[in-house]
Structure formats: C-alpha cells, structure tokens
Amino acid sequence: MSGLLDPTLYVIKGIAILDNDGNRLLAKYYDPTVFSNVKEEKKYEKNLFQKTHRANAEIIMLDRLTCVYRSNVDLFFYVMGSQHENELILVSVLSCLYDSVSAILRKNVEKRTLLDNLDIIMLAIDEICDGGVPLETDPQVVAQRVALRMEESAFNDQTVTQVLQSAREQLKWSLLK
C-alpha cells in the first residue's frame, strides 16, 4: 500500500492556450511545485508545442505531466495533470474548456476573437477550475455563468458612467448660475 498515492481533488496542474506559433495567449498554473517561475512555464509550453503541433494524438506525457490537448484553426488548448492522473478527468476539463470558449465566441474559435474576449475567457477558466480543482464540466453552465457575470460588470460600468455624466451636468449647471 505504500506505493499508492492519496486521492486528491487538486487534479489540474495547469491550463494553457497557445497560438499556432507556440506563443502563450493564456495560461494558468495551479501547482507552484511544478514550475517555480514564468520562465519555466514558457519553456515547458514551447517544448509541449514542439511535441504536439504536428501530432495526431490527443494526449502526451511530458516532464512528468500528463497533458491532453486539442487544436482548432490557429489555437492549441492544453490541460495538464500529474503523471498519475486519470486522463478522463483531464479530457472532460479540456472538452468543457474548448466547448465553453466555442460557445462564448459563438463558434468563432480563433486567435483574434479569443484575444478580443480574453477577459471573458479568463472568467470561463475560473468557472471551470479553481486552484486545480475541477468545478464544472458542462460548457453551457460555464457560458451562462460567464454571461451573467459580464452583465453584472456591464451594469456596474454603466452605473459609474451615469454617475459621472450626472456629476458633469450638475457641475455645468452650477457654473452657469
């Protein structure tokens, strides 16, 4: 029994989205023991991209991490877990990530659209995984939650704009008196 690992909820070590040149567009790592700094993360991402961008597979074991991936047009989506992790969990998180992004971007999953909506995509990743713990694997639920949070922030922004406009109007009227 000494060879078995204790079960844990912290199954996701990282999530990354790279462009078709292997450059990071978005990455989030949850285990500081895997990579100690951004330089190591980017080095790993370059190596990962070199091994996967022409491959026809969906999974790779690289530097003691199990990585599942998927590509579309000019984007590569990666979900990483430990070498002992259940690949089905990683694939379900990857599928949710990809399908959520697809729903949010209205099926226009490409680099430019992703960059234009990066804040929303970051919210989606936070809805899918928190601190390495997968929270949601249903892309419709993720897309709905993200849309709701964006509506709330738009309402707050609008309120601030309205307050500033009102203050300007009051100042203008007070100066005209």
Mind listing the pLDDT tens digit for each residue in 39-87?
A: 999 999 999 999 998 887 899 999 999 999 999 889 999 999 999 999 9
- Are 68 and 12 contacting, i.e. CB atoms less than 8 angstroms apart? no
In order, the DSSP letters of 89-145 are HHHHHHHHHHHHHHHHTTT--SHHHHHHTHHHHHHHHHHHEETTEE----HHHHHHH
pLDDT for the residue 158: 54
Tokens of 133: 């713990």
Give residues with Cβ within 8 angstroms of 3, minimum separation 6. none
pLDDT digits (tens, 9 = 90+) for 134-158: 999 999 999 998 888 766 655 555 5
Q: How confident is the model at residue 10 (pLDDT cuts 50, 70, 90)?
A: confident
pLDDT at 2: 46
More confident residue, 8 or 18: 18
What three-state secondary structure class fits 1? coil
- Angle between helices 139-176 and 118-128 in degrees, nearest 10: 130
In degrees, rounded to 5, the angle at the alpha carbon of residue 10 between the alpha carbons of residues 91 and 89 is 15
Q: Which of 128, 129, 131 is nearest to 141 (CA)?
A: 128
- Whether pLDDT at 29 is above 90: yes
Confidence of residue 167 (pLDDT cuts 50, 70, 90): confident
- Tell me: the pLDDT tens digits for 88-128? 999 999 999 999 999 998 888 899 999 999 989 999 999 99
Say what the pTM is. Answer: 0.81
